Structure 1
Amino acid sequence: MREVTLTDLFLHPITQKFMQRSGVAHALEVTNHAFHLAFKYNVSVDMATKAALLHDIGHYEWYRQGKWDYELYRENDIHAIKGAERAHKLLIRLGENPRIAKQISVAILLHTDSYLPESDIKRSPLQKVVKLADEMDEEQGGNHHYKEIDKLTALKKIQKLDQLVDQYLPKQQLHLNTHEKTI
């Protein structure tokens, strides 16, 4: 049984507030991609989907003269740092296992290179999944953050993903445990 569901996270006022900045539709697409990528990279579907859902909750709105300024954002943004912090605090507050909350938060921290000095980072499989899932939904000029979805449709998509996670997580854990014993 999971401590915290995607629905718990999605409906929380903190998530709702900050997800509006980065785009609910984008967060849902990334979450869906992460669910599927989790199998390829042998990563917990629970952790992958939670990290993906929360990956952009650190976004700050970069405006110049009342208009969104994508270049200003690209030059100054550190949303992954702020998002990792917010996600960790939220997950702990909702009762997530602290070790899992940390892994999810670090995956959020490393989902983008936009704020990092140039370097080769060795990402864990979970961190790769979140980064790849985000990249799969990217659009030119940050347009992926402006796709629209109504609240009811978004909630239904989250609830469907929760059902899928609940369905596959026990099978996945059994596979991981069996795999560990054979090593």
Structure 2
Amino acid sequence: MKRVTLVDVFKHRITQKYLQRSGIHHAVTVSGYAFDMALKAGVDPDLATKSALLHDMGHYEWYRDGKWDYEEYRKHDIHAIKGAERAHKLLIRLGEDRLVAKEVSLAVLLHTDSYLPFDLDDKRTKLQDVVAKADEKDEQPLGMHHYKNMDKSEAIQRLNKLDLKIEEFYDGQAG
């Protein structure tokens, strides 16, 4: 089975639709952080980078008087739930292995505990922890990390480099 690449995932129309809301720059940056953290934690970098790329695809837009209302968003936040569902459906459509799609969607679901009445400290798997920490590393006050710009061609270049690093990782495992 051919590996579904980050570039394959990024170019899909569903990914494009939802990353416009949550921020391409943030998604790609978090993927890069997740790759490095995955290697250090002994986690599969393919799973980590895919989870990181898709971790915020469940975001909704909350506007009041033409401006994004961060407090309203925080009050109604279920983006991890919607994102997990969307990530799973997307990966299956792309032909991803079902177990990979499940692991990625669980990492998306548990990358934050902002929607839960309890915290997830010491309850996450290593993969889920890598994605949560990679996301936290890029966060800025009031969600401003979602508004940094990156054009699609730069995103594809950066994701392609990550795909090559993942291939090198797998080649090193086989040899």
Question: Over residues 25-60 of structure 1, what are the superposed CA-to-partner deviations in whole Å (9 max), with x where a residue is unaligned?
Answer: 000110000000001111001000000000000000
1:148-159 → structure 2 map (5 Å cutoff) = 148-159=149-160
Question: Over residues 118-177 of structure 1, what are the superposed CA-to-partner deviations in whole Å (9 max), with x where a residue is unaligned?
Answer: 244510000000000000000011000000111211111111111111111232x459xx
Amino acid at match of 2:125: S
Q: Does 1:51 align with 2:63?
A: no
1:13-162 → structure 2 map (5 Å cutoff) = 13-121=13-121, 122-162=123-163
1:3, distance to aligned residue in structure 2 (A): 2.5
Contact map agreement 2:113 2:120 (CA 8 A) in 1: no
1:65, distance to aligned residue in structure 2 (A): 1.9
Amino acid at match of 2:170: L
Consecutive aligned runs of 4 or more in structure 1 exceeding 2 Å deviation: none
Structure 1 residue matching 2:42: 3-state secondary structure: coil
Structure 2 residue matching 1:169: 3-state secondary structure: helix
Contact map agreement 1:45 1:169 (CA 8 A) in 2: no
Q: 1:60 to 1:10 in 2, by over 3 A?
A: same
Distance 2:156 2:120 in 1: 37
Contact map agreement 1:44 1:169 (CA 8 A) in 2: no
Contact map agreement 2:4 2:94 (CA 8 A) in 1: yes
Contact map agreement 1:88 1:105 (CA 8 A) in 2: yes
1:67, distance to aligned residue in structure 2 (A): 1.3
Gaps of at least 5 residues in structure 2 are none
Gaps of at least 5 residues in structure 1 are 176-183
1:2, distance to aligned residue in structure 2 (A): 4.6
Contact map agreement 1:58 1:81 (CA 8 A) in 2: yes
Q: Percent of aligned positions with the same letter in both sequences?
A: 59
Contact map agreement 2:91 2:101 (CA 8 A) in 1: yes
Question: Over residues 89-120 of structure 1, what are the superposed CA-to-partner deviations in whole Å (9 max), with x where a residue is unaligned?
Answer: 00011111101110110000000011011244
Larger Rg: 1 or 2? 1
Contact map agreement 2:62 2:70 (CA 8 A) in 1: yes
TM-score, length-scaled by structure 2: 0.95
Amino acid at match of 1:101: A
Q: 1:29 to 1:103 in 2, by over 3 A?
A: same
Amino acid at match of 1:150: D
How many corresponding residue pairs? 174
RMSD: 1.4
Contact map agreement 1:80 1:111 (CA 8 A) in 2: yes
Distance 1:120 1:50 in 2: 21
